Chains A and B, each alone.
Chain A
């Protein structure tokens, strides 16, 4: 329960970095060995992340496997890392997708050494984002991930790669530099209140939960909220900050697209769960409506634009905008179901869209086109490919028994719950419109499948197409395994997240005194989602004799603001 020095999490995070150093001294001509080293490194990293999963317990909302080392004590910056239910699956997702991407990257032929070095560097920064418990450390990894991604797109990308890479970099950087100002403002407030400088997420949240943080600075809260929210809205991305995404996705090399869709977008939604919900409890309820509206616009807009694309990859890129809209819809319903759905949908999107990009990449390596006009009737040539593609596509649609259904259903459920209760000024109409997004998803994805696999095969090059090789089948079907597992028994994935998600929701909507506190290990979320006080505690997994602080749904459904009622009556 106490923080240690460097440990398992650091080993997992910095192992790819070791790989980078190894690659730098390796001769560039030895391409085979370079691929091998990279593959082994990412594989060991994946194994280490499994160890993290084994040592992780879903019985608590607190941070586990804590590691703390002083970094720049004079400025209040520490190297502090840990995992909780919000980050655990994202870590697994990162290590898994990194491994798969490197595996796929055997198709890369030019400048292999640099490519692999950038991939490994990217993995370290992505893992660092999810384990950081210090705002500056988080920001460092968050920003550092831009450099390898910039070069991956810019060097190994498609036709308009430079434009896409620069746009990606500038958009994300523009969003996050204001977050830096917000982070510094938080630390300044902490210093003003407590006399010492800190960027420790746990300490800041603890002060916020006790109500002693914002007390003299309430007027700042909404500004800092938006400084954070903007960074993550760009990263998610939400309309109208999404324009970098189609460009970056389409121009990036396949592995880059997989990582971009699978992990980098999750940094945005992770940021909302980790920072925006817990840190701004006094203003978040007023900001739910604008963000929900953006989410719904994103869902519909993404779907409509995806439906008219002529490029398969671009279609999937725009479908990302729609899917991430569902994630945001779930998170900002601020209901338990919605948050769980949003968190689940994050993983689903990482798996399904990641898999779609991978499959498109496999096809592209064979025929070097992604245009619908060059495709059609591929089912005869590539039956296995078509089968895997169908499953992945249906999971992206959200068919029951696949993972996509679980996430979208829960997220929608949360949005409807919040709207029915009339909470946060939400209207049921918003949720209904979002519901159409699911229908539209079926439209554009099924049409995509139809135009690719059915119809006459008129393209002469396509008539000579070969089906997937065995290793490619193994690689692609590892996604299918997850799709059905999460679709049929989602509890494996939901249960470890439940406590942390419940705590975050209470941090956002409960009043002072009833907020969970990351610092105080004597509080806990029990099996029914109630906030309880622990009398005796041996470890995170077990505790005894509890006393209720706040029932799970004490502050939900929140009543609609009374002031708005007379207005409605008057209009009638």
Chain B
């Protein structure tokens, strides 16, 4: 009676995600069978699995774009690049996590599987045109992060962070789901191609419903990518969560959320253009709020939380340039900026994670004093990453900003470029504050001590350093890899 045919599946498209999933599972099994042991075998397994997944992704870089599993999974260059970035971010985070977790007295093995599954959620998000799949990916990403944020159970701040993140995050997810429901109601499809078709009918009621649904979805994504005015959670959660989790969250969760946001806006570009004026103001607000609020902070992680907000604003500006002139501007800028943002922000987090000692967090500005003496390498990496965040040339951050400026001028959005320029100047102050604390100020009563850098941390630092410079000086190969993604 019913002709049940399983959809044809191109397994190669899901291999990287499955690999990452299995890696997490393997880590959990090791933890199960060897309780109370050190985590080295879990770390090694995790790193191995992630590296394998990374190389599989790299091999598929030039593979033909296509969808499988009934349109649930998509493979294109944009998705693969962001998936590679996510896997890379997880890899680097794990590198510097073990030393930190031990110093922090929270050496729980489950950190690794959770971080890896969180990565998997992000990978699902950025490689699908199906709204439902994006939602599932988002939930996998978020739920793992809720747990990770509360990893340091003895600390009140960590608990506060986890709870705040959970409550607000679920609220945002509800918005997203509500939006998806409306879009489904209007178009009869959760696939973005269906949305485009529904919009093209020019039927007033359909369009209104789609507009509303899109608005709700934007709220959900705005929360995840920390756009003002949905950014309130960011500084608190960043500050409370363990430093390695914050680093992973700042880079990984940002890549996934921005990737999904870009895909949704870009696929249904005519629908998105209706939201352009609102998003324009969101971008301005985000840049202004993020940069100005950071000025008065005293905690490095809080500063970086606000910095993450302002960077979300910069990227949103680039996305809007694309939405406004989709024929002229591709996704290169966004991918490049996300890459460079990931390495520079992870670099800073890796450096400040070495400040943890005997269960203390050590992330106040004064805790960084004398860092140059304790570890010149860490101090150097910090300078370079901060210079990149400011946008000093010959770093990845400069070319990222440069490309955003270029896109904005091409798309004739000079006001956004001006706001970006002004807020970048403001940002100099707090980034220099961190550099000052680490290299100059030594007035602190007790100079903070820290454990010597372990090998993992060193490798993570050097990787970020090299990444920042490679993107700043040898940007051409990176751009070649990104290719001309113009939709």
Contacts and interface: CB of A to CB of B under 8 A. Distances in A.
Given A72-B476, A181-B421, A140 B393 contact: yes
B476 A169 contact: no
A72 B479 contact: yes
Nearest to B480: A74
B55 to A, nearest CB: 26
B387 interface: yes
Interface stretch (B178-186, B230-238, B424-432, B448-456): B424-432
B293 interface: no
Contacts of B156: none
B392 to A, nearest CB: 5
Contact of B432 (A75, A141, A166, A181): A166
Interface in B200-244: none
A477 interface: no
B289 to A, nearest CB: 20
A173 to B, nearest CB: 5
A188 B421 contact: no
A75 B383 CA distance: 27
Contact of B479 (A70, A75, A147): A75
A141 B425 CA distance: 18
Given A71-B476, A181-B418, A188-B410, A143 B393 contact: yes
Contact of A150 (B410, B418, B424, B432): B432
A309 interface: no
B479 A74 contact: yes
A144 B393 contact: yes
B292 to A, nearest CB: 14
Interface in B311-327: none
Contacts of B372: 114
B126 interface: no
Contacts of B428: 169-170, 173
Contacts of B390: 173
B440 A155 contact: yes
A188 B409 contact: yes
Contacts of A73: 476
Interface in B407-454: 409-410, 417-418, 421, 424-425, 428-429, 432, 435-436, 439-441
Contacts of B108: none
A180 B425 contact: no
Contacts of A185: 409
Interface residues of B, number: 32
Given A75-B479, A147-B383, A173-B425, A139 B393 contact: yes
Given A74-B479, A147-B383, A154-B439, A180 B402 contact: yes
A177 B397 CA distance: 14
Nearest to B473: A71
A379 to B, nearest CB: 39
Nearest to B441: A162
B393 A184 contact: no
Contacts of A151: 439-440
A155 B440 CA distance: 6
A493 interface: no
A136 B475 CA distance: 13
A143 B392 contact: yes
Contacts of A75: 403, 406, 475, 479
A501 B236 CA distance: 58
Contact of B424 (A114, A140, A155, A177): A177
B476 A184 contact: no
A70 B474 CA distance: 11
B402 A184 contact: yes
B405 A74 contact: no
Interface string B378-411: 0000010001001111100010001101100110
A308 to B, nearest CB: 31
B52 to A, nearest CB: 31
A140 B405 CA distance: 15
Interface in A63-95: 70-75
- In this complex, the member of B393, B398, B405, B436 whose beta carbon has the largest number of chain A beta carbons within 10 angstroms is B393
Contacts of A556: none
A178 interface: yes
Contacts of A139: 393
Name the residue among A140, A154, A166, A185 with the largest chain B CB count within 10 angstroms.
Answer: A140
Contacts of A143: 392-393, 398
A170 B479 CA distance: 30
A340 interface: no
Interface in A145-186: 146-147, 150-151, 154-155, 161-162, 166, 169-170, 173-174, 177-178, 180-181, 184-185
Contacts of A136: 393, 402
B429 A184 contact: no
A114 B440 CA distance: 12
A379 B398 CA distance: 52
A154 B393 contact: no
Contacts of B409: 181, 184-185, 188
A140 B410 CA distance: 22
A146 B479 CA distance: 27
Nearest to A142: B393
B272 to A, nearest CB: 24
A169 B432 contact: yes
Nearest to A137: B393
A85 B426 CA distance: 38
Nearest to B384: A147
B7 to A, nearest CB: 39
Contacts of A147: 383, 387, 392
Contact of A170 (B392, B393, B417, B425): B425
Contacts of B479: 72, 74-75
Nearest to B418: A181
Given A74-B479, A166-B432, A177 B425 contact: yes
A181 B405 contact: yes
Nearest to A171: B425
Given A140-B393, A162-B440, A170-B428, A184 B480 contact: no
A165 B67 CA distance: 55
A140 B432 contact: no
Contacts of B480: 74
A559 to B, nearest CB: 37
A79 B476 CA distance: 13
Contacts of B435: 150
Contacts of B403: 75
A146 B392 contact: yes
A485 B458 CA distance: 54
A170 B417 CA distance: 18
Contacts of A162: 436, 440-441
Given A140-B398, A141-B393, A147-B383, 9 more contacts: A72-B476, A75-B406, A140-B393, A144-B394, A151-B440, A162-B436, A173-B425, A184-B402, A187-B406
5 contacts: A71-B476, A74-B480, A75-B475, A154-B436, A174-B425
Interface of A: 70-75, 114, 136, 139-141, 143-144, 146-147, 150-151, 154-155, 161-162, 166, 169-170, 173-174, 177-178, 180-181, 184-185, 187-188
Q: Which 6 A-B pairs have the closest CB atoms?
A: A140-B393, A174-B425, A177-B421, A72-B476, A154-B440, A184-B405
